Amino acid sequence: MVNLLKSHLFILRKSRTYKNAFIILTCIIIFTTIVSFSEENGSIMLSAVMKNNRLYGFHIGNLLEFQGYLNIFRAALGLSLFIAIIIFFLVGDLVISPYNNGMLKNTICYGHNRYKIYLSNVISLLIGTILLALFTLITSMVVLSLFFNYGNPISKEEVITMIKIIPIWLLILCAICSFYALIATIIKSKATVATGGALFITLVSFLLFNALSDVTRSRIPIYMLGDLCGYVRYDSSLLIFGVNSLMIIVVSTIIGAMIFKIQEVK
């Protein structure tokens, strides 16, 4: 299992998709920083819905009039939508490509347990997702803080709020990753997984928002992510998001491993 995990982490590190993801996110951070200087355009809302006088979705906006570390934190979290889209392409590269290039068949032929192969691949994907997310969050916050809040002290309450929110945020992103690893294992089509996932989180999820109950949305990762990023706070609902995300990770990984166990790999 350890050797399999090392192998998958090596593949992740050498993946062109993974390397390009950091470059793309860096460019997006630069772009959103420039946008934040604009007083005319104000805020950019991505896949956003207003309900009961609060925002659900992803906010990238003008920080000139709304300085403060929690506002900068929210602006950095607004990039989560781009991270989620990149996850789909990353999953396609690391889950589906081994089917096509024969790498997966060779690994199985060496006698490795299929459950361990799937589990190590998912773990490497989750590690990759966490590193991408933290890179984006930290880099964005540092850049925005230098431009919009330089020299101002951060309060203890702001630090505590961020520390409480970040693990929940990472769990939700990992839930998206593990669920799409399951979908990719079933479909085995990179184009379908990447395109379908991107369309769902940018368009379909927006259209279905009002049709779903609050309870249903609290169990779907992209809605949990939009809820957390739209209104930065720490309350009992975030604990529910964390528990639901953890359950999604565990259940989707178990189901994916069971499906992979009985699959015919050519």
- Residue by residue, DSSP assigns the chain as -HHHHHHHHHHHHH-HHHHHHHHHHHHHHHHHHHHHT-TTT--EEEEEEEETTEEEEEEE---SSS-SHHHHHHHHHTTHHHHHHHHHHHHIIIIIHHHHHSHHHHHHHTT--HHHHHHHHHHHHHHHHHHHHHHHHHHHHHHHHHHHSTTPPPPHHHHHHHHHHHHHHHHHHHHHHHHHHHHHHHH--HHHHHHHHHHIIIIIHHHHGGGS-HHHHTTSHHHHHHHHHHS---SHHHHHHHHHHHHHHHHHHHHHHHHHHH----
pLDDT of residue 144: 85
| Residue 9 covered by a domain | yes
- Amino acid identity of residue 78, one-letter, is G
Residue 93 forms part of a structural domain: yes
**Is residue 188 in some structural domain?**
yes
Q: Does residue 241 lie within any of the structural domains?
A: yes
Q: Which residues pair with 45 in a beta bridge?
A: 59
The answer to whether position 266 is within a domain reads no
Residue 181 inside a domain? The answer is yes
Quote the CA–CA distance of 44 and 257 in Å, as a whole number: 40
Position 157: which residue type?
Answer: E
Is residue 174 included in any domain, yes or no? yes
Beta-bridged to residue 54, according to DSSP, are 51
Domain total in the chain? 1
Entry pTM: 0.91
| pLDDT tens series, the chain, 266 aa | 788 888 889 989 989 999 999 999 999 999 888 877 765 555 677 766 777 777 777 877 666 555 678 888 888 898 999 999 999 999 988 998 887 777 777 877 777 788 889 999 999 999 999 999 999 999 999 988 888 777 778 888 889 999 999 999 999 999 999 999 999 999 888 888 888 888 888 777 777 777 788 788 888 898 899 888 887 777 778 899 999 999 999 999 999 999 988 887 77
**What's the rounded Cα separation, in Å, for the pair 247 and 253?**
10
User: What range does the domain containing 177 cover?
Assistant: 2-261
> Helices 156-187 & 80-91, crossing angle to 10 degrees?
30
238 assigned to some structural domain? yes
